[in-house]
Chains A and B, each alone.
Chain A
């Protein structure tokens, strides 16, 4: 159980390192971990499937991603004053911005898909 998890974590850290190096080297406007994600995606496409250990480790990491965000969100305590001052732009941009984005994205995709019935569930999903 432990050994496959170590392999998977090694792969994830290694791809992150590669991504960070690539971003530094080429001065890309991307976070290094995101470049690492794209590199891993390219590697998976070349390999053709996801190794079991990676699938399991990635799954448990992603399922608990909310835990990893708590330290960053707790930083709100540094900004109580700013939020007391700027709560209106902050909240309206957050909430109205989300509603506008939802509506425009749904409209656009529905319009683009109007002629295709391609969004029915695939066999993979029915199984």
Chain B
């Protein structure tokens, strides 16, 4: 029995299986709920995983090592974003000027608003740097935050909160602003709420979904470039 416990503690498999079970279970619940934004798997599956880790007294470092394979796959998944971006090439060619300007304005506002709000409310520098890239998709936001001195895991939480807030707020806010063009709505949601907002738009309208995917990919690139510039432009932070 002791030998078995020792083997289990040393093997990465229990953590991998736990994570994948939590994901498949919460994904099924999410789909059954009609994609309710508060039930997205990054939130619910992570809550399950963290609960198990706390109950079993497992340190995060042990878990992190066990599921290294999953984290490693974020790299090729990021490279794979080139495929949906390539699919949008005609539209980018037609609308490159308005898209480029909206991207620069929106991408800058995402970073500056996060930094200023958190700074005004007394956030520490580490918290500010974790928040700065929060509108970028996770594989981009985490290394950008880390490079600026924000903890990657804190940035992951900031990215998740932003995605959920964007997905929940988008419909009422767009009604309030009388934005009816699905292209405009999709672009704003993809830029703000990255993969979470894009996944949601794809279920609503194909044009909105395509523009969301476009804005998400472009803002990933823009955020990586703009975060160091915005931080340098606000030396009092």
Given A94-B131, A98-B192, A99-B165, answer yes or no on A38-B80 (Cβ-Cβ < 8 Å): no
**B106 x A104 contact (CB < 8 A):** yes
B94 at interface, CB cutoff 8 A:
yes
**B71 x A68 contact (CB < 8 A):** yes
For B184, give its contact among A67, A100, A109 (CB under 8 Å).
A109
By a CB distance below 8 angstroms, the chain B residues around A22 are none
**A33 x B74 contact (CB < 8 A):** yes
Shortest CB-to-CB span from B19 to chain A, Å, is: 5
Given A77-B54, A97-B162, A104-B109, answer yes or no on A88-B184 (Cβ-Cβ < 8 Å): no
Give the distance in Å from the alpha carbon of A44 to the alpha carbon of B169 in the complex: 35
Give the distance in Å from the alpha carbon of A116 to the alpha carbon of B105 in the complex: 20
Give the distance in Å from the alpha carbon of A108 to the alpha carbon of B45 in the complex: 36
A58 at interface, CB cutoff 8 A:
yes
Chain B residue nearest to A63 (CB atoms) is B199
Given A67-B20, A122-B90, answer yes or no on A89-B123 (Cβ-Cβ < 8 Å): yes
Shortest CB-to-CB span from B87 to chain A, Å, is: 8
Give the distance in Å from the alpha carbon of A81 to the alpha carbon of B169 in the complex: 28
Number of A-B contacts (CB under 8 A): 331
**A106 x B177 contact (CB < 8 A):** yes
Chain B residue nearest to A12 (CB atoms) is B76
**A76 x B134 contact (CB < 8 A):** no
By a CB distance below 8 angstroms, the chain A residues around B98 are 109, 112-113, 116
Q: How many B residues, CB 8 Å from partner?
A: 114
A70 at interface, CB cutoff 8 A:
yes
Given A71-B71, A108-B101, answer yes or no on A92-B121 (Cβ-Cβ < 8 Å): yes
By a CB distance below 8 angstroms, the chain B residues around A50 are 83, 86-87
Chain B residue nearest to A51 (CB atoms) is B83
Chain B residue nearest to A54 (CB atoms) is B83
A26 at interface, CB cutoff 8 A:
no
A66 at interface, CB cutoff 8 A:
yes
**A73 x B156 contact (CB < 8 A):** yes
**A70 x B185 contact (CB < 8 A):** no
For A77, give its contact among B50, B77, B134 (CB under 8 Å).
B50
8 CB < 8 A contacts A-B = A65-B195, A67-B23, A67-B41, A68-B70, A89-B122, A93-B115, A96-B117, A98-B165
> Which residues of B come within 8 Å of A, CB atoms?
19-20, 22-23, 27, 40-42, 45-46, 49-50, 53-54, 60, 63-64, 67-68, 70-71, 73-87, 89-91, 94-95, 97-99, 101-102, 105-106, 109-110, 113-115, 117-124, 126-127, 131, 134-135, 138-140, 142-144, 147, 151-154, 156-158, 160-162, 165-166, 169-170, 173-174, 177, 179, 181-185, 187-189, 191-193, 195, 199, 206-207, 210, 215, 217, 220-221, 224-225, 228
Closest 9 CB pairs of A and B: A75-B153, A105-B106, A89-B123, A112-B98, A58-B80, A119-B183, A89-B121, A94-B161, A12-B76
